[in-house]
Amino acid sequence: MQKTDQPPTKKDVQEFWNRNVCQTEFLKIEQRGSAEFFREAEQVRYKYHFYLPGVFDWIAVEKPQGSLLEIGCSMGTDLLQLARRGMQVTGIDLTEEGINLARKRFELYQIPATLKVDDAENLSFPDGSFDVVYSFGVLHHTPNTQQSIDEVLRVLKPGGLAVIMLYNRNSLNYYIHRLINQPFDGNRKDRCPIERTYTQAQVLELFRNFKTVQVEIEYLLTTGYGIVWDLVPKIIHRALGHLWGWHLVIKAYK
């Protein structure tokens, strides 16, 4: 990305994620869209994000067989798990690359899904369309995070559930990355143009128009720590992740 005096735009973010489809940097299998590629993607994701299957189970219990929108579904790894739990799924992403891979994935497993390129700040769905809106690590990359969260609220049905992950400023991962000047997504030569972090107080302000809001902290060390992650016992990951984790998991009802 060329340096400019202008603030980064949504197009800059779109181009970054088209070049760097989420997860692909950690996969060894190069044949994108193959069954082996998608299996490895699942193995890698839930090795590190081991708390997520529990979140999916909880969503399926809270809104059984419900209509679910994932904002920023990328290649559809999480969306597929939610579909397997009986949710009626729609996935959107800002990038053609992500949606093309997601389509291949759902066709491979013959599971129905609506998949399309769309904009989190201007969702192309009527008011009150979904029982659940899920978005994992996406809305802190859009120019207007507040507008995207307002859109989540708009497309939820009355009593609908939002499950959103935003990066936690008061986390071990944040301070390590700032100390070594490493981007949260990408690398020093090709870093994501917009990367925001939030305190819990800021999250409560962003979700102020929801009826109830619960914030949980998860994920002590991220995928990029490699062997360091493996050396830390999972019980330590879990315990310290609740204190200094990188993920703020927001569960909010309309």
Q: Decide: 161 and 63 in contact? Cβ < 8 Å.
A: yes
Residue 21's pLDDT is what? 78
CATH code of domain 10-253? 3.40.50.150
With residues binned 3-state (H G I as helix, E B as strand, rest as coil), the percentages for the chain, rounded to 5, are 45, 20, 35
Which contiguous run of DSSP H or E holds residue 133?
A: strand 130-136
Domain ranges in the chain?
10-253
What is d(CA 112, CA 84) in angstroms, rounded to the nearest whole number? Answer: 10
The DSSP call for residue 67 is: E
Residue 2's pLDDT is what? 47
What are the tens digits of pLDDT across the range 111-165?
A: 999 999 999 999 999 999 999 999 999 999 999 999 999 999 999 999 999 999 9
Residue 225's pLDDT is what? 87
Q: How many CB atoms sit inside 10 A of residue 197's CB?
A: 19
What are the tens digits of pLDDT across the range 52-72?
A: 999 999 999 999 999 999 999
188 pLDDT more than 80: no
- Name the residue among 71, 99, 65 with its Cα closest to residue 163: 71
- Name the residue among 135, 133, 84 with its Cα closest to residue 113: 84
Residue 110 backbone phi and psi in degrees, to 5: 55, 50
Average pLDDT estimate for 3-8: 72
Average pLDDT estimate for 68-86: 97
